Amino acid sequence: MKVLIIGGGGREHALAWKCAASPRVEHVYVAPGNAGTAAEPNVSNVAIAADHIDGLLEFARDVPIDLTIVGPEGPLVGGIVDRFTAAGMRCFGPSRAAARLEGSKAFSKDFLRRHRIPSASYATFDASDFDADYVRSQRLPLVVKADGLAAGKGVVICDSHATTIETARAMLGGSFGVAGQRIVIEEFLHGEEVSFIVVAHHQQVIALATSQDHKRRDDGDRGPNTGGMGAYSPAPLVTPALHQRIMNEVIRPTLRGLETDGNPYTGFLYAGLMIGADGTPNVLEFNCRFGDPETQPILMRLDSDLVELCEAGLNGTLDRTEVRWDSRAALGVVMAAAGYPEGYRKADLISGLTQAARLPGKVFHAGTSANDAGVVTAGGRVLCAVGLGATVRAAQRHAYDLVDVIHWDGVQYRRDIGARALAREA
Ligand code: AMP
């Protein structure tokens, strides 16, 4: 069969690599892909942007493509699955209506409250009803969130009432474009974050391996928030008892709620959770897709056929599907461009990729492109180097062995990916 992966980041490189390993797959196309997907055996790039739904549909019909897997949230929230399905094409992901769980924070907060799923208390405002007195009556710190998609940047944690009001007014005034026309102001939650990702079809669900990512740019969880500077799987924080609580208190009620609301969910569903001191799994956010960079270490551990898993999701046979995992830990270190996450530099020549390819583990590309000189940087997050090992310590060593042979001008990465898991291991 022929598979189309939509997107061009590290997540999509991992999805394409894993799909190409399926004995059932003849060829994988990635739109638009990156220099890493272009170099994978049985994978080729197609120069169509991930949000150009008409172009993607035309390509998928022409080939024809047997299965499309959508990486990023933009096309999902834009209704790509509805369009493909209406055209008789098999496309794995949630409908536009179900993807509102990520596409609108106000929708998702109202959904969580209605279905009594644990989450921070909140209020929603637009420019006409913003209430500074409400803000002044709340305990600090407070979190201000743009309602719509803001590429991971629409969340601001505020330590004073004045900054909260200022941030809220700036967002409502257009600092985040249309994404900030509505805002959510919520309670700040304490605890430890985990990523919990499942494959779902209506109320059928298979939990994937657990993972934890590192959102801050610098060592010791300092510096600005980013899309993620590294991740590892499994997350030792998620004991079997906590796993069960997350399934019973978050995942199952969410899938049930979506179905009873008339928006049944199919696809990868990502719950970003803050685990409180008493073990309560509070939902920070939902993503209607696989996480990036969590996908890279999670798929390194997946022994089962990813294509079969997505097909079972589409066919509604997840209850008869088993997923096998490599028992080893996987740890991925993101290598980012100079300046990331603000305006970052592009077109720096990357050295050491051939040497890295001879080492154990795998280097997934994110923001890269190829020109006559070789592979160059083309995005903020450039590569994710993933190691596998019997312990997190061993996986970490293999990941940094890869990182240590790769270089470009201004490269930045954290040296402490996996620190929390290592502390638990010790
Ligand atoms: P979100 O996109 O909503 O997950 O927010 C991005 C990041 O901001 C999360 O991964 C958390 O680190 C942080 N964050 C968001 N909401 C809260 C909250 N209510 N309390 C504490 N931290 C939060």
Please give the Cα distance from 12 to 368 (Å, whole number): 13
Distance in Å, CA 94 to ligand 1 centroid: 23
Distance in Å, CA 156 to ligand 1 centroid: 8
Residue type, 348: D
The strand pairing partners of 157, in sequence order, are: 143
Please name the residue whose Cα sits nearest to atom 11 of ligand 1.
284
Torsion angle of the four alpha carbons 148, 150, 153, 154, in this order, in degrees rounded to the nearest 10: -20
Please name the residue whose Cα sits nearest to atom 3 of ligand 1.
285
Please give the Cα distance from 128 to 333 (Å, whole number): 44
341: Cβ contacts below 8 Å, ≥ 6 apart: 153, 217, 224, 225, 226, 227, 380
240: Cβ contacts below 8 Å, ≥ 6 apart: none
Which three-class secondary structure string do you get for 367-409? CEEEECCEEEECCCEEEEEEEEECCHHHHHHHHHHHHHHCECC
Distance in Å, CA 285 to ligand 1 centroid: 7
At 244-253, the pLDDT tens digits run: 999 999 999 9
Angle CA 199–52–88, to nearest 5: 60
User: pLDDT under 50 in the chain at which residues?
Assistant: none
Three-state DSSP at 250 gives: helix
Please give the Cα distance from 206 to 247 (Å, whole number): 10
Q: Which of 284, 288, 289, 420 to mutate to test the pocket of ligand 1 (most atoms within 8 A of CB)?
A: 284
Cβ–ligand 1 distance for 193 under 6 Å, the answer yes
Please name the residue whose Cα sits nearest to atom 18 of ligand 1.
188
CA 199 to chain centroid: 13
CB 267 within 8 A of CB 313: yes
Three-state DSSP at 206 gives: strand
Please name the residue whose Cα sits nearest to atom 9 of ligand 1.
284
Token pair recorded at residue 88: 């008789």
Cβ–ligand 1 distance for 215 under 6 Å, the answer yes
Please give the Cα distance from 178 to 112 (Å, whole number): 23
User: How much is the pLDDT for 342?
Assistant: 87
Distance in Å, CA 216 to ligand 1 centroid: 12
Please name the residue whose Cα sits nearest to atom 1 of ligand 1.
285
Atom of ligand 1 nearest to the CA of 189: 20
60: Cβ contacts below 8 Å, ≥ 6 apart: 4, 68, 84, 89
Please name the residue whose Cα sits nearest to atom 8 of ligand 1.
155
User: How much is the pLDDT for 424?
Assistant: 85
Cβ–ligand 1 distance for 155 under 6 Å, the answer yes
Cβ–ligand 1 distance for 188 under 6 Å, the answer yes
Q: Which of 184, 185, 285 to mutate to test the pocket of ligand 1 (most atoms within 8 A of CB)?
A: 285
Please name the residue whose Cα sits nearest to atom 7 of ligand 1.
155
Cis preceding-peptide flag for 236 (omega within 30 of 0): no
The strand pairing partners of 380, in sequence order, are: none
Cβ–ligand 1 distance for 120 under 6 Å, the answer yes
User: How much is the pLDDT for 270?
Assistant: 97
Cis preceding-peptide flag for 32 (omega within 30 of 0): yes
Token pair recorded at residue 116: 């009594």
User: How much is the pLDDT for 191?
Assistant: 94
Give the start-end residues of each E strand in 242-380: 266-275, 281-287, 329-336, 362-365, 368-371, 374-377
Please give the Cα distance from 187 to 120 (Å, whole number): 5
What Cα–Cα distance (Å) separates residue 277 from each residue in 42, 144, 206? 47, 23, 27
The strand pairing partners of 195, in sequence order, are: 211, 272
The strand pairing partners of 144, in sequence order, are: 156, 185
Farthest-apart Cα atoms in the chain, separation: 61
Distance in Å, CA 284 to ligand 1 centroid: 6
Please give the Cα distance from 201 to 94 (Å, whole number): 9
User: How much is the pLDDT for 152?
Assistant: 67
Looking only at the bridges linking them, the beta strands covering 212-213 and 230-233 are: antiparallel
CB 12 within 8 A of CB 30: yes
Please give the Cα distance from 387 to 115 (Å, whole number): 39
